[in-house]
Amino acid sequence: MDNSTPPRRKRTQRDYTLGFKLAVVEEVEKGDLTYKQAQARYGIQGRSTVLAWLRKHGKLDWSSTRSSSMSKKPETPAQTIKRLERQLKDAEDRQYLMEKMMEIIDKEYGGSLRKKYLAEFARQAQAEKIVPLTRSCRLYGISPQAIYQRLQRHAKRQKAQAPVEHWVREVRRRLPRLGTRKLYHLLQPRLQASGIKLGRDGLFDFLRECRLLIQPKRRYTKTTHSRHWLRKHPNLLAGLSVEQPEQVFVSDITYVESCEGVHYLSLVTDAASRKIMGYELSQQMRAEDTVKALRRAVKARCTTKPLIHHSDRGVQYCSDLYQRELDKSGIQPSMTDGYDCYQNALAERVNGILKQEFLTVRCRTFAELQKLLAESVYAYNHLRPHLSLGMETPESVHKKASSISELA
């Protein structure tokens, strides 16, 4: 069975989403990769494709790729001696601490960990002519044969798993910060068809080795003003079991930043299917913009059953304009009891997914952010599996359940 990476096909600019381009630009501008390394790592075709993205979307000046080197003042002999003495002392202390740690590891976990990591670095040290392999093995009491056997097993496993990195990067082009459990669910059919033995925990190790694990981002900014004189509606979700799509819509407002400033995103989400039914990106937190998101959600409905709209007690949702729109659409309003984010947890969760998994790079303009948001909402609804939905997408669950309820 052939497990080799599938042949490359010629790509065009349409194959790369705006979110993928911005993520590559941010990684290069942070200094994690050069533009040539990014081009090789992500399989981007074209000699200057990434450089063109940097010049179009980057925040730095990429008109010239050459950087002038800074000249350093040479050390005096006394400074050199002090620096070398300090480095020697540090090396001795580090070696002492390393030996003590290795003794503890050997006692608690046996000698397998020492053999595993020595096999990874001993060959590298020998190739760089720093320490011969036989000397490394003698210092740590391990035979060279054991090192070679481990390296052979590792090379065989790497060859068998070579296509996996290509598949992961392919998925991450559309879902840039998808978690490993959901990623494993999407890769399972390919793994089974290729005969590659890689479990969920093994995928964690594989991603860690390839530096593809996702690091969580946590930020919080308050966008709700609930101390106002407008009428607040009671909480109708207390004790209510939400089982069908379009039984309850939840709404919330969050902030998104670009180089032009802070913008506000209004979202309307179906509580059962987790599908984003309507959204609106605006420059200000106005009731008119939240109404636009609500109208989109109403227009996207598949049923005409009774519907509850749940939100916090923000002034936009309590406004006469928003309440008239709910009444016009035959939707019953419901609100949290005071400012308690846990009573609108689902809406907060959707905000977090969009910002932490999709809107991860800062766009230069408001128009660019709008395009990235449209791509992100589509990927969230149609491509991203949810643990709470049995690893199905919101769009598939919404359509399936809506058709069943209509027939009933």
Beta pairing class for 261-270 and 276-282: antiparallel
Q: Are residues 94 and 46 in the same domain?
A: no
Full residue range of the structural domain in which residue 36 is found: 13-57
User: Which of the 8 DSSP states describes residue 214?
Assistant: P
d(C-alpha 92, C-alpha 101), whole Å: 14
Classify residue 230: in a domain, yes or no: no
Classify residue 367: in a domain, yes or no: yes
Alpha-carbon radius of gyration of the chain: 28
Q: What is the pLDDT of residue 225?
A: 47
Which has more confidence, 136 or 184? 184
pTM comes to 0.62
Classify residue 387: in a domain, yes or no: yes
Q: Taking residues 32-56, what's their average pLDDT?
A: 85
Which of 113, 128, 157 terminates a domain? The answer is 157
Q: Are residues 261 and 387 in the same domain?
A: yes
Strands (E) in 216-275, as ranges, are 248-258, 261-270
d(C-alpha 372, C-alpha 377), whole Å: 9
pLDDT tops 90 at residue 342:
no
pLDDT tops 80 at residue 12:
no
- CATH classification at residue 253: 3.30.420.10
Classify residue 46: in a domain, yes or no: yes
Q: Are residues 264 and 376 in the same domain?
A: yes
Q: Which residue has the tokens 């530096």?
A: 211
Q: What is the pLDDT of residue 372?
A: 92
Q: Are residues 151 and 200 in the same domain?
A: no
Tens-place pLDDT, residues 237-295: 887 888 888 999 999 998 899 999 899 999 999 999 999 999 999 988 888 999 999 99
301, burial (CB in 10 Å: exposed 0-12, middle 13-18, buried 19+): middle
Q: Are residues 263 and 400 in the same domain?
A: yes
Q: Taking residues 131-159, what's their average pLDDT?
A: 77
Question: How far apart are the two ends of the chain, measured CA to CA in Å?
Answer: 48
16, burial (CB in 10 Å: exposed 0-12, middle 13-18, buried 19+): middle
Q: What is the pLDDT of residue 331?
A: 92
Which of 127, 157, 187 terminates a domain? The answer is 157
Greatest mean pLDDT range, 77-81, 199-203, 231-235, 304-308: 304-308
Give me the percent of the chain exceeding a pLDDT of 90. Answer: 19
Tens-place pLDDT, residues 165-189: 888 888 888 888 788 888 888 888 8
Tens-place pLDDT, residues 63-104: 765 544 444 567 778 888 988 998 998 888 887 777 777 777
d(C-alpha 390, C-alpha 171), whole Å: 19
Q: Taking residues 314-332, what's their average pLDDT?
A: 89
Q: Are residues 140 and 189 in the same domain?
A: no
Q: Is 293 in contact with 251 (CB distance < 8 Å)? A: yes
Q: Are residues 201 and 327 in the same domain?
A: no
Q: Are residues 144 and 289 in the same domain?
A: no
Which has more confidence, 39 or 220? 39
Classify residue 335: in a domain, yes or no: yes
Q: Are residues 259 and 334 in the same domain?
A: yes
User: What does the angle CA 22 – CA 25 – CA 27 come to, to the nearest 5 degrees?
Assistant: 110
Classify residue 267: in a domain, yes or no: yes
Q: What is the pLDDT of residue 280?
A: 93
Q: Are residues 286 and 177 in the same domain?
A: no
Classify residue 394: in a domain, yes or no: yes
Q: Are residues 307 and 326 in the same domain?
A: yes
Q: What is the pLDDT of residue 276?
A: 94
Stretch among 6-10, 135-139, 151-155, 220-224 having the lowest mean pLDDT: 220-224
Query: How confident is residue 1, by pLDDT bands cut at 50, 70 and 90?
Result: very low
Tens-place pLDDT, residues 351-403: 888 888 888 888 999 999 999 999 999 999 999 998 888 889 999 999 886 66
d(C-alpha 253, C-alpha 269), whole Å: 12
CA 244 to chain centre: 29
Classify residue 234: in a domain, yes or no: no
Q: Are residues 259 and 394 in the same domain?
A: yes
User: How many structural domains are present in the chain?
Assistant: 4
Which of 157, 174, 189 terminates a domain? The answer is 157
Which has more confidence, 402 or 296? 296
